[in-house]
C-alpha cells in the first residue's frame, strides 16, 4: 500500500535526521514525501507547504509527523492487542469500547481506518453471538469462538450447513484430519466436541509458542544462540498446529542464518 510505504519512508528519514544527526536535504523527492505524509497524518497542505520553505520549519514538521506516526501506531497496537484478548475472553463490548477510545483521539487516517475495521469486526461478532447466524465477511476462528460462547450461554447447537462448512475449514488449522472432522459432524454432540478441540488446540499452541518466543528472545539477546534454537526445537517436537509449526520453523531458520556482514 502506497500510504504505508510513505509512512515507512518518512519514519526512516526522521530517524536519520532526528536521531542519527544527518542533514535534511530538501530535494524535490524529499519535499514530495514530506508533503504527502503530512496530509496522511492530518496536517493541512498549506501548513505543510509553508513549513517546507525553510530548513528549521521543515525539520519541525518532520518531527511532528514522526510524533503522530509513532503515537498513533503505539496507541492502535496496544488497543488492538488488548481488544483481541477481550474478544477471545468473550468480552466483545469491551473490545468495541477500546476501538471507540482510539477513534475518539486518533487523527491519522490510516490508523483510524484500521480501528474502524476492527470496530466493524467486533460489532459483527456481537451480532453473530446474538443471532447464531454466521457472517461470511468475518474471520472464521473468531466466529467459531463466538459459537462456543453461545453454547456456554445455554443456546442449543443448530448444526446448519454453514456451521458444518465453518468447522470443515477450521479443523485443518488445528491439525484435525478430514476423517475425524466428518465423524464429528454426524451429530450435534460431536460437532460441539470438535469445536472445543479446534479452539483449545489453537489456544494451547499460541500460548506455547509465545512462551517459547519470550525465552528464545532472552537467550538470543544474552548471546546463547544454541539455547535460543533449542526453544524452537522444543516447540517443533510437540507442535501439530500448522500455523505455529511454520512460525517456529521460520524463527529457527532465522537463528541458523549467518549474521549479516558489517
Residues 166-179 pLDDT 10s: 999 999 999 999 99
Domain ranges of the chain: 2-126, 132-256
Confidence of residue 257 (pLDDT cuts 50, 70, 90): confident
Phi, psi of 157 (to 5 degrees): -90, 115
- pLDDT surpasses 70 at 2: no
- Please state, in angstroms and rounded to a whole number, the distance separating the CA atoms of residues 260 and 204: 34
Q: What is the pLDDT of residue 26?
A: 87
Q: Grid coordinates 469445536 are at which residue? A: 195
- 170 to 37, 101, 178, 230, 236: CA distances (angstroms): 40, 32, 11, 30, 21
Contact 241, 175 (CB under 8 A): yes
Average pLDDT (6-28) is: 88
Of all helices (H) and strands (E), which one includes residue 56? helix 55-88
Supply 125's cell numbers. 461478532
Q: What is the pLDDT of residue 253?
A: 92
> Mean of the per-residue pLDDT values for the chain?
92
Confidence of residue 4 (pLDDT cuts 50, 70, 90): confident
Give percent of the chain above pLDDT 70. 97
- pLDDT surpasses 90 at 260: no
pLDDT tens digits, 203-225? 999 999 999 999 999 999 999 99
Q: What is the pLDDT of residue 93?
A: 95
Beta strand extents in the chain (DSSP E only): none
Q: What is the pLDDT of residue 262?
A: 41
Dihedral sign of CA atoms 12, 14, 16, 19 in order: negative
Confidence of residue 7 (pLDDT cuts 50, 70, 90): confident
Supply 108's cell numbers. 491519522
Average pLDDT (225-251) is: 95
- Please state, in angstroms and rounded to a whole number, the distance separating the CA atoms of residues 207 and 51: 48
Contact 31, 52 (CB under 8 A): yes
Q: What is the pLDDT of residue 20?
A: 87
pLDDT tens digits, 89-103? 889 999 999 999 999
Q: What is the pLDDT of residue 5?
A: 82
Cβ of 144: how many Cβ atoms within 10 Å?
25
Enumerate residues 6+ apart whose C-beta is below 8 A from 84: 95
pLDDT tens digits, 25-81? 888 999 999 999 998 898 999 999 999 999 999 999 999 999 999 999 999 999 999
- pLDDT surpasses 60 at 1: no
Amino acid at each position: 500500500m502506497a500510504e504505508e510505504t510513505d509512512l515507512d519512508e518518512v519514519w526512516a528519514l526522521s530517524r536519520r535526521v532526528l536521531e542519527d544527526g544527518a542533514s535534511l536535504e530538501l530535494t524535490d523527492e524529499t519535499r514530495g514525501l514530506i508533503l504527502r505524509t503530512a496530509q496522511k497524518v492530518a496536517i493541512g497542505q498549506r501548513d505543510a507547504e509553508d513549513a517546507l520553505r525553510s530548513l528549521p520549519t521543515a525539520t519541525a514538521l518532520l518531527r511532528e509527523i514522526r510524533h503522530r506516526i509513532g503515537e498513533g501506531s503505539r496507541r492502535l497496537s496496544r488497543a488492538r492487542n488488548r481488544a483481541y484478548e477481550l474478544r477471545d475472553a468473550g468480552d466483545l463490548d469491551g473490545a468495541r469500547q477500546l476501538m471507540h477510545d482510539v477513534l475518539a483521539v486518533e487523527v491519522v487516517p490510516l490508523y483510524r481506518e484500521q480501528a474502524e475495521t476492527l470496530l466493524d469486526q467486533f460489532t459483527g461478532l456481537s451480532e453473530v453471538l446474538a443471532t447464531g447466524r454466521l457472517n461470511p465477511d468475518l474471520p472464521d476462528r473468531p466466529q467459531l469462538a463466538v459459537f462456543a460462547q453461545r453454547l456456554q450461554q445455554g443456546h442449543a447447537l443448530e448444526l446448519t450447513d454453514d456451521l458444518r462448512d465453518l468447522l470443515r475449514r477450521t479443523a485443518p488449522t488445528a491439525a484435525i484430519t478430514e476423517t475425524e472432522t466428518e465423524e464429528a459432524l454426524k451429530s450435534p454432540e460431536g460437532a460441539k466436541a470438535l469445536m472445543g478441540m479446534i479452539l483449545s488446540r489453537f489456544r494451547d499452541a499460541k500460548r506455547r509458542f509465545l512462551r517459547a518466543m519470550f525465552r528464545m528472545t532472552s537467550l538470543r539477546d544474552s548471546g546463547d544462540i544454541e539455547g535460543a534454537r533449542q526453544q524452537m526445537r522444543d516447540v517443533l517436537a510437540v507442535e501439530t498446529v500448522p500455523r505455529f509449526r511454520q512460525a517456529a520453523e521460520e524463527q529457527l531458520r532465522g537463528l541458523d542464518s549467518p549474521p549479516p556482514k558489517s
